[in-house]
Structure 1
Amino acid sequence: MQSSTAKIIMVGLLTLVLLIPLQYVKSLILERAERQENVVNEINQKWGESVYLYGPVIKVPYITYTENKLIDEKTNKVTYQRSTVTDYAYFFPNDLTITANVPTEHKKRNNYESVVYTAAMDFKGNYTTPDFSSRNIPAENIKWESASIVVKTNNIRSIKGAVGITLGGKQYTFEPAENPDDKDTVAALETRAINLRDAFAGGAVNFDFKIQYKGSEALRIVPIGKNTQAKMTSNWASPSFEGNFIPDDKTVSTTGFDAQWKISHLNRPFAQQHFGALPNLSDYSFDVKFLIPVNQYQQNERASKYGFLIIGLTFLIFFLIQSVSKISIHIFQYTMIGLALIMFYTLLISITEHSSFRLAYIIAGLSVVAMIGLYSISILKNFKFPAFIATALSGLYAFIYVIIQLENYALLVGSIGLFLILGAVMYFSRKIDWGNANA
């Protein structure tokens, strides 16, 4: 049992056994992360959830006729009954210019944090005269005097203040409304009846529509103009541009971002007018997400994934030292060292909840390095090897921290680092006589 082979087997088994408490630590991190997600969702629900909208859209009712075939069961006589049905036509703007200012702020509850925003948006543009010629609808069947303006949105509850639109120099106010015939099942804002015959008497009509939201997580807008230009500014320094369209021009700095979109109707698979119902346009929006890029629990989870590597390499260093120095290290002492390494992750997550991840990582790392370094002095009976162990462990923790902070190059840097570590182990162990090395 004192041979190098037996010691290697025992240390290897101990390493596998220590994966059990390490897994409990990972479960703790996931539990705290889930708790954070629940609290963040609660904050967002009270402040305002993500926002999706498009508009303004002209809605014009028109009359169509249907014939129902009726058969008399006694005489088998066939008659036709004509009924009147009111349908709706929807017309999108010709030119649409969107300006959005989206300042953000952090909301905290206990140890948890969420980012929310207040969006002030201005939609300007113009409409050309609605054209029914493609559907061969008689002019007398079009109810121009009962038209309205519609804005589709998923989040009526988070709208701030009154919402109105200026159309052709006249002001109209929106009220909540729903159209169950729409395929786009989100709620809607709708004006009272507008006489479009008078509004379009002089041709194209300009409009100016303003709306303010309290929201969180994301802002999604569908570019329904035949030519849409959008500009969004915010103090959020880590935006994520997603959706069906990315900005044509953007500037992101530590003080915020400025993004611009230019989208033609040729870039999207839907028309400028729709008869009967509005389609579901949620897949054709341009999106900006306002999320904390890597939160503390994600960083803790990524750090814990390297726990096996930390334990294995630390044990390897101790084993090589005992093989070179002929100092015997008991399996109980290996166990104490392994538990100290696992305590790093419990210290890390607990301190992170009350400070930054960087500070927590430094405090936890220094604490564990100091504990193992002082413990090594009593084991190895000198200062040279404990100093080497403390230096190597500090370098290993620093290497893991760098990998955690990297995103695109994490795999590359990690692979190169592990290659160099393996090379160093091979170099320092090249002269050990394993046949005669006893621990």
Structure 2
Amino acid sequence: MENYQNQPKQGFFQSTTAKMIMVGLLTLVLLIPLFFVQDLISERSQRQKEVVAETTSKWGESVYFYGPILKIPYKDPITNQVENAFFFPEELSNVSNTEIKTPLQRSIYKSNVFTTKMQFKGSYDQPKFYKKNIPNENVFWDKATVIIRTTNLKSVNDEVKINIGSNSFTFEPVHNNQNNDSIESLETGYFKYNDLKNTNFNMSITYNGSKRISIVPIGKTTSAKMTSNWASPNFNGSFIPNDKKINNKGFDATWKILHFNRPFSQENFEFLPELSKYSFAVDFITPVDEYQQNERASKYGFLVIGLTFLIFFLIQSISKISIHIFQYCMIGIALIMFYTLLISITEHSSFSFAYAVAGISVVALISLYSISILKDKKFPTFIAISLSVLYTFIYVIIQLEDYALLVGSIGLFLILASVMYFSRKIEWNK
């Protein structure tokens, strides 16, 4: 009894509970530099977007095509004012070949750009002015023109012409006065529509561009085919392809759109409607860039820090080896350094290579440091294996898209089961 009473009483700060509280508080404190790292990633990502936008603006921006549209003026029999009537093609066929060029590079940032050649064929039906009770003598048949609404005029590579029957007409830019409207117009000179022997037409236009191509299906029947060497297209807009083939060499997609598939008519009197929201489009952008992958990795930072501290705490509790809070702090800072290494190496290499280098460096650093703490090679080896598995698990989740939640949930369940198994014999009341 005397020996029992003479044993020194354990203070609160030496208890398991106190150590758990301190480790938990340190984990929360380390979230502060982790947030700074996430801000750094966002800042670098924003800088990349600014540089890419500046670079692509010099090469060519998104391509939007709406046309070719037949325009014929007439005199309104009621108001006696001259108005314009716009007629869309009866048939419209498009074949576009888009080639992604070697990325433009400025400093460490790269921009994906392309050259696209768009060929159009089709025919116009006889304009039906009688639908609006407009007599034939009120129609200025000799003032007919063809217009195109498009973007990116500064990056058109060659003269734009349209052949209607045996006649050829050259487009000239018609600049609008609305500074907030990025869509510009091209229009031919006057010609006599009634003198045309047939109204079959064909034309081609070549752009330097980036990001997206969108086309408005204005034909009563519109058929389109697009081929490219870009292996990650994003089909967007109001219509998806009827058929598409995608492989690592590029893609091939076709559309067929009928007039009753879209909510606008073939004839428009008085004004030309804005139809950009009814276009079909293809986006030529990187699905997940390096900064997005870095951002995803940093969101798992709390999990990595928490699980690493938990491993050390369990080892400390099982082996009765005392680990100072300063040593926990050094381990936590090493874990934060993983993300600064990751983003800095990624900017000069691929994300996979950067992740491997940063992961190996941090695992090696913490494992060697733990040898001096734990005075043994058995536990440091376990730590190295655990951290390697953890970083590999997070890398797999980052690469997955459709199954990320499923794999992540299963992985976290297995981690929880492992922690419960290894902590089952710890006496927490001490």
Tell me the residue number matched to 2:382. Answer: 388
CA–CA separation in structure 2 for the residues paired with 1:343 and 1:155: 44
The equivalent of 1:297 in structure 2 is 291
Instruction: Report the Cα offset of residue 156 of structure 1.
Output: 1.4
Of 336, 339, 360, the match for 1:342:
336
Aligned twin of 2:306: 312
Q: 2:51 aligns with which of 25, 33, 39?
A: 39
* Residue aligned with 1:31, SS: helix
Secondary structure class of the residue paired with 2:171:
strand
Q: Which of residues 101, 119, 133 is equivalent to 2:130?
A: 133
Distance 2:36 2:130 in 1: 69
Could you give the per-residue CA deviations for residues 73-120 of structure 1, whole angstroms, max 9, x where no partner exists? xxxxxxxxxxx4211000000111100000012111111111111110
Report matched runs for 1:345-384 at 5 Å.
345-384=339-378
Is residue 2:178 matched to residue 1:172?
Answer: no
Deviation at 1:178, TM superposition (A): 4.6
| CA contact 1:185–1:280 (8 Å) conserved in 2 | no
Which of 81, 85, 92 is residue 88 of structure 2 equivalent to?
92
Give the structure-2-normalised TM-score.
0.95
2:15 counterpart residue number: 3
Query: Is contact 1:231–1:260 with CA below 8 Å preserved after alignment?
Result: yes
Q: Distance in 1 between matches of 2:229 and 2:58?
A: 22
**TM-score after normalising by structure 1:** 0.93
Q: Is the 8 A contact 2:92 2:219 kept in 1?
A: yes
- Number of the residue aligned with 1:73: none
4+ runs deviating over 6 angstroms: none
Counterpart amino acid of residue 60 in structure 2: G
* Structure 2 counterpart SS, 1:157: helix
1:185 Cα offset (Å): 7.7
User: Could you tell me which of 187, 194, 197 is aligned with 2:194?
Assistant: 197
Listed one character per residue, the Cα deviations across residues 166-212 of structure 1 (whole Å, up to 9, x for unaligned) are 0011111000015779xx9821100000100111xx5x510001101
Distance in 1 (CA, whole Å) between partners of 2:410 and 2:362 is 25
Aligned to 1:279: 273
Aligned partners of 1:146 and 1:193 also within 8 Å:
yes
Please state how far the C-alpha of 1:127 moved relative to its aligned partner. 0.9
Percentage of pairs with the same residue: 61
Answer with 315-324 or 48-57: which moved more: 48-57
- CA deviations on 1:381-426 (whole Å, 9 max, x unpaired) are 0000000000000000000000000111111111111011001100
* Bigger mean CA offset, 339-348 vs 58-67: 58-67
**Secondary structure in 1 aligned to 2:112?**
strand
**Does 1:117 pair with 2:114?**
yes
Q: 2:151 is matched with which residue: 132, 154, 164?
A: 154
1:144 aligns with 2:151: no
Aligned to 2:225: 231
Q: Matched residue of 2:265: which SS?
A: coil
How many residues end up aligned between the 2 structures? Answer: 416
**1:75 is matched with which residue?**
none
Q: Would you say 1:12 and 2:12 are equivalent positions?
A: no
CA 1:179–1:63 in structure 2 vs 1: closer, same or farther (change >3 Å)? farther
What CA deviation, in whole Å up to 9, does each residue of 1:137-185 have, x standing for no partner?
111110000000011112211111100000011111000015779xx98
Aligned-partner SS, 1:360 = helix
SS in 1 for 2:115: strand
* Partner SS, residue 103 of structure 1: strand
In structure 2, the residue matched to 1:325 is 319
Which residue identity lines up with residue 248 of structure 1 in the other structure? N
Does the C-alpha gap of structure 1 residues 419 and 53 become closer, same or farther in structure 2, counting only changes over 3 Å? same
> Which structure 2 residues correspond to residues 211-222 of structure 1 after superposition, within 5 A?
211-222=205-216
Structure 2 unpaired stretches of 5+: 1-12
Q: Are the aligned partners of 2:77 and 2:134 in contact in 1 as well (CA < 8 Å)?
A: no
- Superposed CA deviations along residues 210-268 of structure 1, whole A, max 9, x for unmatched, are 10111100000001000010000000000000000000000001000000001000100
SS at match of 1:408: coil
Aligned residue number for residue 103 of structure 1:
99
Tell me if structure 2 keeps the 8 A contact 1:216–1:290. Answer: yes
Match of 1:187 among 141, 161, 184: 184
In 2, Cα distance between equivalents of 1:180 and 1:262? 35
Counterpart Cα distance in 2 of 1:299 and 1:110: 21
* Unpaired segments ≥5 residues, structure 1: 68-83
- Corresponding letter in the other structure for 1:147: A
User: Is the contact made by 1:40 and 1:113 (CA closer than 8 Å) also made in structure 2?
Assistant: yes
- Of 42, 48, 56, the match for 2:60: 48
Q: Residue type matched to 2:104 in 1? A: K
Q: Structure 1 or 2: larger strand share?
A: 1
